[in-house]
Structure 1
């Protein structure tokens, strides 16, 4: 197999390794806050939708915003509700939908977690000289 790439020339393998390194950093950043990475993503997404976009999102809207599986999203949102970070209430106009709101405690945690994650991201991606090109590449690959 003469056409086989060397491991250091395989974009997929390099992306895998980079993703694992980044995930380890996220895990260690969020652990002191008592959050898993997916809990952080869903809490931060709900916080953003509530406080920045001015929405009272449904669980489905949060799953779409975070690009997560709706069933998994529902389970994690229940966990965050049990922890006191969110409230979940029936949608008054759609009996199948649940509206989600961040509690004051959840909002404070989300803001703190976002700052820590942004600091960790800045450190992790600091070696990349062209951040605009990196973001453009990530947007292209994520579509």
Structure 2
């Protein structure tokens, strides 16, 4: 193949930030799935449970829209996942006190218990997974936040 026929703008696939991010994300997701299996939770379910717990501590009504924005999970998927969590008895959805179009979300006692346990497992998993970054973890997080601002 002639050099001008090469469709890649970088010399090697391993130097493509998108490809590297995809590889790391795939590895991380596969392992986080295993870590959450014992709680019968998908990663999206865990994120919405943990986000509900965190947002509840901010002392404002937790709505589906707020959860969607906080987690970066699209609103339709958020609604579907929340319905599943409600069916599992891990959270309750209620009519909002002042906005009839909105639903508020709250963990059940069992939902809070499972979420607390799963958070510990996920935090330990993350610590182990990202350990190779060592003292560069903070800088790595800063760069990820930079990408989230797009």
Q: Structure 1 residue 32 and structure 2 residue 34: aligned?
A: no
The TM-score normalised by the length of structure 1 is 0.94
- Unmatched 5+ residue regions in structure 1? none
Q: Is the 8 A contact 2:90 2:108 kept in 1?
A: yes
Residue 101 of structure 2: SS of its match in structure 1?
strand
Q: Structure 1 residue 90 and structure 2 residue 110: aligned?
A: no
Query: Aligned-pair distance for 1:106?
Result: 0.5
The TM-score normalised by the length of structure 2 is 0.90
Show structure 1 runs of 4+ deviating over 4 A. none
Q: How does 1:7-86 map to 2 (within 5 A)?
A: 7-50=13-56, 52-86=57-91
The verdict on how the C-alpha distance between 1:99 and 1:4 changes in structure 2, with shifts beyond 3 A counting, is closer
Query: Aligned-pair distance for 1:139?
Result: 0.9
Corresponding residue pairs, total? 142
Which has more radius of gyration? 2
- Unmatched 5+ residue regions in structure 2? none
Query: Aligned-pair distance for 1:137?
Result: 1.1
Query: Aligned-pair distance for 1:55?
Result: 2.5
Residue 54 of structure 2: SS of its match in structure 1?
helix
Query: Aligned-pair distance for 1:39?
Result: 0.4
Residue 18 of structure 2: SS of its match in structure 1?
helix
